[in-house]
Amino acid sequence: MKDKKLNIAVNVRHLIPNKMEGIGWFSYQMMKRITQNHPDVHFYFLFDRSFDSQFIFSDNITPIILLPPARHPLLIYYWNEFSVPNLLNKLNPDVYVSLDGFISKRAKYKQYAVIHDLNFLVYPEYLLWGFRKLYNYFFVKHIHHTNRIATVSEFSKSEIIKYLHFPEDKIDVVFSASNLKLREIRDSEEIQIKNEYTNGKDYFIYVSSIHPRKNVTGVIKAFNLYKEKTKSEDKLVLVGRFFWGKDEVTTLVNESPFKQDIVFTGRLDDDKILVLMKFAKALLMVSHYEGFGVPVIEAMQLGTPVITSNTTSLNEIAGDAAIKVSPKNIEEIAQAMQTINDNKELVNNLIIKGKIQSQKFNWDDLSERLWQGMLKTIEEK
């Protein structure tokens, strides 16, 4: 291994400026460190459109634009089953790493797939028909064409074993971490951010895409109940773009007696999220299903208390540093909000525990786990 210069091809098509979400940020944080830490290895970065130079992290990267742009299900299928294997035949890499989990049945090279979650199997109703078929094709029918799998939590590993019947000893848990660019936040910024979004009032915050499996309707219903019980002037700030189920959420808000206290910000830049999350009373992340749940770690890192689900990966990554609730129990979520409001001693304990818990998820350590998974894939017969 040491006598041969390795060549690794990587699917990085989710590296898109100003549009990165879970997989994009995972790709950025992992590959920036791996490429810079291993200058003796040559990496081919496979993009499906024009790329930004910020994603060429080091001199040992050769970027390749591989067409067609893969966003429509049929184009994603073509990209993975024809464009990728045709290119790999020319590159002859030691391993092909697919950071979005899409492997190629037609590729004759070793493959290492990163699968973040299996929400398409658990909540298929929240996907368009074309994407549902696409994921079943690649992740269910053909996943055994990959040599190993990496995933982001023990929960997701258990799901992969349960639904995909993939060998346990060939699954690497690498976890994920915070994407916030930390900086010193001045006390004066609290007044500024509250004046901008909440008319100077305190607030609870939700940060993620607006999607049914994220249980945004549950968050809003719990907020309504909390307001009824406490008569508080608190606001609810929802940060993220609408992805699915906009009509249901909009109707629920319009019917709420507290709709003037529910604030949708849309997608915000990272620094704005940093400040909003820092001064929130608590983060609400009570999803029905999550493969990881990065905002939980980000809130803990900033010293913001967390209310999260007692299920899926959220239970795992929060440890004992959050108030855990059933995502289906609106009263329980509302009571957790009231506890945050009333119990300052508990809040202080959560802040201390949260900062400790967040330190367990460090990109430097986690990228080394992914790198070791790549090496295992190369070394396996």
- Out of 29-33, 127-131, 198-202, 276-280, least confident range: 127-131
| pLDDT confidence of residue 3 | 54
Is 259 a member of any domain?
yes
Q: Are residues 119 and 145 in the same domain?
A: yes
* pLDDT tens readout for residues 222-278: 999 999 999 999 999 999 988 877 889 999 999 999 999 999 999 999 999 999 999
* pLDDT tens readout for residues 105-164: 888 899 999 999 999 999 898 888 898 899 988 889 889 999 999 999 999 999 999 999
Q: Are residues 28 and 159 in the same domain?
A: yes
Is 347 a member of any domain?
yes
* Crossing angle for the helix pair 330-342 and 216-230, to the nearest 10 degrees: 50
Is the pLDDT confidence value at 4 over 90? Answer: no
For the chain, the residue count is 381
**What is the average pLDDT across 32-47?**
98
Q: How confident is the model at residue 327 (pLDDT cuts 50, 70, 90)?
A: very high
Q: Are residues 216 and 331 in the same domain?
A: yes
List the domain range (segments joined by +) for residue 292: 188-358
Selection from 120, 117, 116, 96 nearest residue 106 by Cα: 96
State how far the alpha carbon of 309 is from the alpha carbons of 1, 224, 294, 332, in Å. Answer: 44, 19, 13, 11
Residue 214: CB atoms within 10 Å: 25
Q: Which two tokens stand for residue 278?
A: 């820092």
Mean pLDDT over the full length of the chain: 95
pTM value? 0.93
**What is the average pLDDT across 62-83?**
95
Is 257 a member of any domain?
yes
User: Residue 164, class by beta-carbon neighbours within 10 Å (0-12 exposed, 13-18 middle, 19+ buried)?
Assistant: middle
Is 182 a member of any domain?
no
Is the pLDDT confidence value at 21 over 90? Answer: no
Is the pLDDT confidence value at 334 over 60? Answer: yes
| pLDDT confidence of residue 192 | 97
Is the pLDDT confidence value at 1 over 90? Answer: no
**What is the average pLDDT across 199-207?**
98
Is 55 a member of any domain?
yes
Is 287 a member of any domain?
yes
How many structural domains are present in the chain? Answer: 2
| pLDDT confidence of residue 49 | 95
Selection from 72, 213, 76 nearest residue 137 by Cα: 76
For the chain, the three-class secondary structure string (H helix, E strand, C coil) is CCCCCCEEEEECCCCCCCCCCHHHHHHHHHHHHHHHHCCCCEEEEEECCCCCHHHCCCCCEEEEECCCCCCCHHHHHHHHHHHHHHHHHHHCCCEEEECCCCCCCCCCCCEEEECCCCHHHHCHHHCCHHHHHHHHHHHHHCHHHCCEEEECCHHHHHHHHHHHCCCHHHEEECCCCCCCCCCCCCCHHHHHHHHHHCCCCCEEEEECCECHHHCHHHHHHHHHHHHHHHCCCCEEEEECCECCCHHHHHHHHHHCCCHHHEEEEECCCHHHHHHHHHCCCCEEECCCCCCCCHHHHHHHHHCCCEEEECCHHHHHHHCCCCEEECCCCHHHHHHHHHHHHHCHHHHHHHHHHHHHHHCCCCHHHHHHHHHHHHHHHHHCC
Is the pLDDT confidence value at 288 over 70? Answer: yes
Is 374 a member of any domain?
yes
Q: Are residues 204 and 105 in the same domain?
A: no
Look up the CATH number of the domain holding residue 30. 3.40.50.2000
